Amino acid sequence: MMRKHFLKEKIEAGFEEERELLEHEPEKKAKLPALSYVRPVFFTILLTVTLIALAINGWTAIKFFMTH
């Protein structure tokens, strides 16, 4: 008998805790700094320009060795 009441009280306490958690509004997340948006774009542009320069230099070298 004691055990039944104990479990019932535990379950009710659990429901109360869950209700309290649900009542709390989720905290607003802090905005990301502008650098978080700029950095990936800057990295992509830098990587693209580097690869284009590498391709141009490679093509120039191939043309040079084909003509000489």
d(CA 61, CA 53): 12
Report CA-CA distances (Å) from 62 to 7, 48, 56, 65, 67.
81, 21, 10, 5, 9
Mean pLDDT of the chain: 84
| Residue, of 5 and 51, whose pLDDT is higher | 51
Whole-model pTM: value is: 0.48
Domain span including residue 38: 2-67
Query: How many domains does the structure of the chain reveal?
Result: 1
d(CA 23, CA 46): 47
Residue with tokens 């700094």: 33
pLDDT attached to residue 48: 98
pLDDT attached to residue 20: 76
